[in-house]
């Protein structure tokens, strides 16, 4: 069961797609492109995937309260690479 928005203010940041499946849209109602483009809302990548997008999605899912978007992939990968070298 999905958490209620009143109990978790960040639920749309990481479970928007699930919410849209559980509560179908009305006629002429569109999905919110902002929430759809959040990395934390994208499907989980395979565990062995090491490409930039997969690494960024995993990071965004751990830090969903930061609302990372697809446009932040390069920035996140730079952070991850910098932290791995330290």
Please give the Cα distance from 78 to 49 (Å, whole number).
Answer: 17
Tell me which of 53 and 3 has the higher pLDDT.
53
The Cα-based distances of 15 to 11, 24, 52, 69, 82 in angstroms read 6, 14, 22, 14, 29
The pair of three-digit structure tokens given for residue 47, joined into one six-digit string: 């565990």
- The partner residues of 38 in beta bridges, in order of sequence, read 69
Distances (CA, A) of 73 to 22, 25, 59, 69: 28, 29, 10, 7
pLDDT tens digit string along 17-74? 888 888 878 888 888 999 999 999 999 999 999 999 999 999 999 999 999 999 999 9
């Amino acid at each position: 069961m999905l958490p209620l928005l009143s109990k978790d203010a960040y639920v749309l940041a990481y479970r928007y797609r699930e919410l849209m499946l559980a509560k179908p849209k009305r006629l002429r109602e569109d999905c919110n492109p902002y929430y759809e483009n959040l990395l934390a809302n994208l499907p989980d990548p395979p565990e062995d995937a090491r490409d930039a997008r997969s690494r960024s999605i995993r990071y965004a899912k751990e830090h969903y309260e930061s609302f990372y978007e697809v446009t932040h992939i390069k920035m996140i990968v730079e952070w991850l690479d910098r932290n791995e070298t330290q």
